[in-house]
């Protein structure tokens, strides 16, 4: 297992913006009287929320059944919600004082909710939740000010999902991803588009907070955010990025602005160009590779991001796929902790969940699952194992407000691609708006 240095952690504000109205949080009374305490004697019922599709819900409910069989005094009510609605609904339930006991989190959301006093310090339930076997680097994704607020469900990484069949059809060889540069990426994407049928592209537009973070780290050694809680990326780096992506669009390597705008907002894999067999490359998360393989019907692979060995340094990172947290107001924190402990450390849960929430952060479960992986998961598993020896593990969790970055980036990116705002002015605007969001 790779050893990670303890350092500030990188943001993953990569999803739908969190619309947390201050007035709603003001209405939520989060005081020490709401903190966990007491014991869970007798039959109790706890609520557990997560986002995802029907397949994830089915697997999770099977794991819940196994937990209830092993813990007959605890009943778990599962709440499965689609991703685009999940955090809006969570914000509303927190404001009403009715959030679930066990809350699935991701990206910068744990930091936001921890800063607002919503989440339980897991040291209070250490008797029911053993974290000693989990990877230290993954645990650090939810450790703020030396307080552990969440437990990683698994680990994944951000790179390039690629369709070798489209490369072959265009007569373009796959890159050596240990040596390719951003210039190579642009050349390859342009060549694939030129040699493919109309409507098929070398790459989807790559602009997102995660790619900006990765690109900035490679170029300057600092990503989107600073360890001090502000923004680190400079307008010059953002301008350089948009010069790259507008160049890609102008050569036909990526789709027209109208197509990119239509695809913004986290579409399902089957709705993306990659998932429909209309793009050879797309930046994305490794834990989504099986879903993209299923949607496309193609043997997709993962590539190391361009520029990892040709820029100033590496920009990729390993991250907790998702995090299980406990509401500070839970009336049954010990039962909630027992559920999380079962989900992340018990083979009976792993037999159902497998790698749906990322490659397990518990090495014992990785060993347990390795021999039973299907081909789709094996590709993901092998890529994570390979990357674990190549990334540096240092990343910065986005501060409160950083979850707004997705909406900001998408909106300004549309303006750039449609030619309404030049890259230089857009770069200044992006830095200013994200700075305001996190201030």
Instruction: Give how far the C-alpha of residue 247 lies from the chain's centroid of Cα atoms, to the nearest Å.
Output: 27
Superfamily of domain 157-317+401-438: Periplasmic binding protein-like II (3.40.190.10)
Task: Specify the pLDDT at position 15.
Answer: 32
Lookup result for tokens 């005081």: 31
Q: Interhelix angle for 54-70 vs 333-345, to 10°?
A: 110
In the structure, what pLDDT confidence band is assigned to residue 367 with cuts at 50, 70 and 90? confident
Q: What is the pLDDT of residues 253-267, one digit of tens each?
A: 999 999 999 998 767
How far is Cα 223 from Cα 314, in angstroms, rounded to an integer?
A: 11
Report the pLDDT averaged over residues 299-324.
Answer: 91
Out of 2-6, 172-176, 386-390, pick the least confident: 2-6
For the chain, give every domain's residue range: 22-154+321-387, 157-317+401-438
Q: What is the pLDDT of residues 133-158, one digit of tens each?
A: 887 767 878 888 889 999 999 888 89
Task: Specify the pLDDT at position 31.
Answer: 33
Do 22-154+321-387 and 157-317+401-438 fold alike per CATH?
yes
Average pLDDT, the chain: 87
Q: Provide the CB-side half-sphere exposure for 311 (13 A, CA).
A: 22
Report the pLDDT averaged over residues 42-63.
Answer: 94
Sign for the CA dihedral angle at 14, 135, 133, 54 comes to positive
DSSP 284-317: EEGGGHHHHHHHHTS--EEEPPTTTTTSSS----
Superfamily of domain 22-154+321-387: Periplasmic binding protein-like II (3.40.190.10)
Q: What is the pLDDT of residues 404-420, one digit of tens each?
A: 999 999 999 999 999 99
Report the pLDDT averaged over residues 320-336.
Answer: 95
How far is Cα 74 from Cα 269, in angstroms, rounded to an integer?
A: 36
């Amino acid at each position: 297992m790779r050893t990670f240095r303890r350092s500030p952690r990188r943001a993953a504000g990569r999803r739908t913006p969190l619309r947390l109205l201050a007035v709603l949080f003001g209405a939520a009374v989060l005081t020490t009287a709401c903190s966990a305490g007491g014991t869970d004697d007798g039959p109790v019922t706890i609520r557990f929320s997560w986002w995802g599709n029907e397949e994830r819900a089915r697997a999770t409910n099977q794991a819940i059944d196994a937990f209830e069989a092993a813990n007959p005094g605890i009943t778990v009510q599962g709440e499965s919600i689609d991703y685009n609605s999940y955090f809006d609904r969570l914000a509303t339930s927190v404001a009403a004082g009715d959030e679930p006991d066990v809350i699935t989190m991701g990206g910068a959301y744990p930091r936001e909710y921890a800063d607002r006093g919503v989440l339980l310090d897991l040291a209070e339930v250490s008797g029911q939740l053993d974290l000693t076997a989990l990877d230290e680097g993954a645990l650090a994704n939810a450790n703020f000010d030396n307080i552990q607020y969440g437990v990683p469900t698994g680990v994944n990484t951000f790179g390039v999902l690629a369709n070798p069949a489209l490369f072959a059809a265009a007569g373009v060889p796959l890159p050596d991803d240990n040596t390719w540069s951003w210039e190579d990426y642009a050349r390859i994407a342009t060549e694939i588009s030129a040699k493919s049928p109309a409507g098929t592209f070398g790459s989807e537009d790559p602009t997102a907070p995660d790619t900006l973070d990765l690109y900035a780290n490679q170029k300057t050694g600092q990503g989107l955010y600073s360890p001090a809680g502000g923004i680190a990326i400079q307008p010059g780096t953002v301008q350089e990025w948009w010069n790259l992506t507008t160049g890609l669009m102008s050569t036909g390597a990526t789709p027209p602005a109208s197509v990119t705008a239509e695809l913004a907002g986290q579409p399902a894999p089957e709705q993306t160009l990659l998932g429909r067999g209309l793009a050879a490359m797309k930046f994305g998360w490794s834990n989504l590779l099986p879903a993209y393989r299923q949607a496309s019907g193609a043997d997709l692979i993962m590539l190391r991001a361009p520029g990892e060995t040709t820029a100033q340094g590496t920009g990729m990172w390993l991250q907790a796929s998702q995090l299980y947290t406990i509401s500070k107001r839970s009336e049954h924190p010990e039962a909630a902790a027992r559920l999380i402990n079962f989900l992340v450390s018990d083979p009976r849960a792993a037999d159902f969940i497998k790698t749906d929430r990322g490659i397990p952060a518990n090495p014992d479960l990785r060993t347990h699952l390795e021999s039973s992986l299907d081909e789709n998961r094996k590709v993901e598993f092998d890529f994570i194992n390979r990357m674990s020896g190549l990334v540096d593990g240092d990343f910065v969790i986005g501060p409160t407000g950083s979850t707004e970055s997705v909406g900001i980036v998408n909106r300004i990116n549309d303006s750039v691609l449609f030619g309404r705002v030049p890259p230089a002015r857009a770069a200044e605007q992006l830095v200013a708006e994200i700075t305001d969001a996190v201030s």
